[in-house]
Amino acid sequence: MPTLTVDGKQIEFKQGETVIEAARNAGIDIPHFCWHPSLSISGNCRVCLVEIEKMPKLAISCSTYAAEGMVVYTQSEKTLQARNAVMEFILVNHPLDCPICDEAGECKLQEYAYAHGKGESRFEEIKNRKEKRVQLGPHIKFDAERCISCSLCIRFSDEIARKNQLTFIKRGDKVTITTFPGESFDNSYTLNTVDICPVGALTNQDFRFKSRVWEMSKTNSVCVGCSRGCNTEVWVRNNQILRLTPRHNKDVNNYWMCDNGRLNTFKTVNTSNRIDGAFIRKEGMLQKASLEKAVLFAAKSLKEFKSGEIAFIGSAYATCEDNYALVKFAKMLSVTNLAFANHIIPGDQDDILIREDKTPNSLGAELVGIKSGPGSLNLEGILKGIREGKIKALYVMEDDPASLSDEFEEALGKLDLLIVHDTNQNRSTTLADIVFPASTFAEKNGTFVNFQGRVQRILPSVATAEMDRALDGMEMSRWDKFGTEFDRWNQGHKYDAKPSWKILTMLSLQLGSKMKYEMAEEIFSEIANSIDAFKGLDYDKIGELGAQLKIKQTILK
């Protein structure tokens, strides 16, 4: 490979890479505002100026292509003077909004002003005034005074979202950003511009003024809005999720995620209809009970039915571990009626990220043994069995079959026994005889498999009451490892919920089973040892970016 020298360090680069890309790949940071690895080159901020031997003037590293034998200086006196001058120019009209700006703590301008600025300004005139709190679209607020005209949002709208909705107007120090006449900045990916905006010019209206970045914990996770499985970061304060942001994974979602996944998928975690504890129907009313009592009652009730009279409904919203435990539990009872519901919205899909399948784990549920396709072992077969009186008991895990159709809701009312575990109240829990409180995606460990066959991990970012009880019994040496994050979690309300696999384990023990799982990792280890697609994998190998399963192309949707 060809090489160039940056600050005395010889580094290799690929043909076609710019100086800033080559340096970045070698761990050398060159400051920049307008450059992004997934967008076209604009070259208008000038902060990435570097000195290159045999070139008469400084060059912007974002648009200068690396060449064999090139010698680059990013810290020379000439470079630093120019960089300081550019920073001073950018800050001339920038308002002193840091104390009230949402971007504080993750603002490039703030960081570069400290690292590369002079710390003083020679500008004595009145700063230019521009519009503030402009509603560009349904989710975006724009502060024109903070904007440094990097054009990242304009290029993103045009090149990634493929909706040319933003543009510059006016000239000189009056330049600002607006939508085209009659347009609203309302495409499905607008909030990505908040992530790439290097200052606080574009803000997320849903998150605006809710928290400072240093007041929140951040946990890697996966979006549950569709079968794409975008990699995300979950931001939590006082045990409440305040925002989701995309996490870079070039094999899944690159740097982006859709607005729906960002705004709507976490709202069910901390909401008024969360199921907080177990419930048993008595005298026609669901009454709260201890989880242990509900488990004993459920076990006793299931014993009253023959295996052919029982059916199970798994869930494409639940993890592979949850669904695998359900399959194993059904086999223990010799039950073959086992299916899950598809949640597909035909046509609600694009060729960027959004998928028609609005669940995160339909492929994972199928791979561990639950079917949703044609045949007797599907939802239609279960519905028919209930109507004919052959199926008298139904066990539903993390789904709402009553909402699928009026016919299904009517059929559920005819059952002798309906057991549901879910995260939130719904039409099915209203009809249930026993309700178990299930942990949400943000409260448990587990895995999802996206439509491409990539298995990815979720981790707990919000604490439940169960976590508190676990910590009470921890040795101090282990508490030290978790203390900082759990101190933050313990600030807010914790729901009394458990992962579905754990509820099934408790129930199986009452029915004489050998299911004795203590951790989600144990279930995944069993999955990896028994299902070919997962062979050789464990949580460490899946890592933060997931692992591609070895499955036939025909299985992928």
- pLDDT at residue number 468: 61
Pick the CATH number of 3-91 from 3.30.360.10, 3.40.50.300, 3.10.20.740, 3.30.70.890: 3.10.20.740
* Burial call 228-260: b when 16+ CB within 10 Å, e when fewer: bbbbbebbbbebbbbbbbbbebeebbbbbbbbb
**Amino acid letter at 274?**
R
- pLDDT at residue number 479: 45
Tokens for 281, please give them. Answer: 């129907």
Concatenated DSSP letters of 302-348: HTTS-GGGEEEE--SSS-HHHHHHHHHHHHHTT---EE----B-TT-
Burial of 220 (0-12, 13-18, 19+ CB in 10 A): middle
CATH class (in words) of the domain with range 278-462+497-555: alpha beta
Rounded to two decimals, what is the model's pTM? 0.92
- Asked if residues 228 and 353 have their Cβ atoms less than 8 Å apart, the reply is yes
Measuring CA to CA, which residue among 47, 58, 29 is closest to residue 89?
Answer: 47
Q: What angle do CA 28, 41, 63 make, to 5 degrees?
A: 55
Q: How far apart are CA 56 and CA 79, in angstroms?
A: 13
For the chain, the domains span: 3-91, 278-462+497-555
* Number of helical H runs and strand E runs in the chain: 17, 23
Report the side by side order of strands in the sheet with 547-548.
446-449, 454-458, 547-548
Facing residues of 417 across strands?
Answer: 393
Q: Which pLDDT tens digits describe the chain residue by residue (557 residues)?
A: 899 999 999 999 999 999 999 999 999 999 999 999 999 999 999 999 999 999 999 999 999 999 999 999 999 999 999 999 999 999 988 998 889 999 999 999 999 988 887 777 787 888 888 999 999 999 999 999 999 999 999 999 999 999 999 999 999 889 999 999 989 999 999 999 999 999 999 999 999 999 999 999 999 999 999 999 999 999 999 999 999 999 999 999 999 999 999 999 999 999 999 999 999 999 889 999 999 999 999 999 999 999 999 999 999 999 999 999 999 999 999 999 999 999 999 999 999 999 999 999 999 999 999 987 655 468 889 999 999 999 999 999 999 999 999 999 999 999 999 999 999 999 999 999 999 999 999 999 999 999 999 999 999 999 998 776 555 444 444 445 455 555 555 567 889 999 999 999 999 999 987 788 999 999 999 999 999 999 999 999 999 999 999 887 545 65
Which helix (DSSP H) or strand (DSSP E) does residue 393 occupy? Answer: strand 393-397
- Asked if residues 234 and 219 have their Cβ atoms less than 8 Å apart, the reply is yes
Same fold, 3-91 and 278-462+497-555: no
CA dihedral of 268, 273, 274, 277, whole degrees rounded to 10: -170
Tokens for 423, please give them. Answer: 């995260």
User: Strands (DSSP E) along 132-187, which ranges?
Assistant: 134-135, 140-142, 166-169, 176-179
Report the side by side order of strands in the sheet with 9-12.
9-12, 3-6, 71-73, 49-52, 59-60
User: Strands (DSSP E) along 425-482, which ranges?
Assistant: 434-437, 446-449, 454-458
Burial of 44 (0-12, 13-18, 19+ CB in 10 A): middle
Q: How far apart are CA 164 and CA 167, in angstroms?
A: 8
Q: How far apart are CA 221 and CA 445, in angstroms?
A: 10
- Asked if residues 144 and 138 have their Cβ atoms less than 8 Å apart, the reply is no
Which helix (DSSP H) or strand (DSSP E) does residue 383 occupy? Answer: helix 379-387
- pLDDT at residue number 487: 56
- Asked if residues 45 and 86 have their Cβ atoms less than 8 Å apart, the reply is yes
Burial of 409 (0-12, 13-18, 19+ CB in 10 A): middle
CA dihedral of 372, 377, 383, 387, whole degrees rounded to 10: 170
Q: Which residue has the tokens 């009312």?
A: 413
Q: How far apart are CA 160 and CA 253, in angstroms?
A: 12
SS3 of residue 173 by DSSP: helix
Q: How far apart are CA 318 and CA 360, in angstroms?
A: 8
SS3 of residue 259 by DSSP: helix
What phi, psi does 379 have (nearest 5°)? Answer: -60, -40
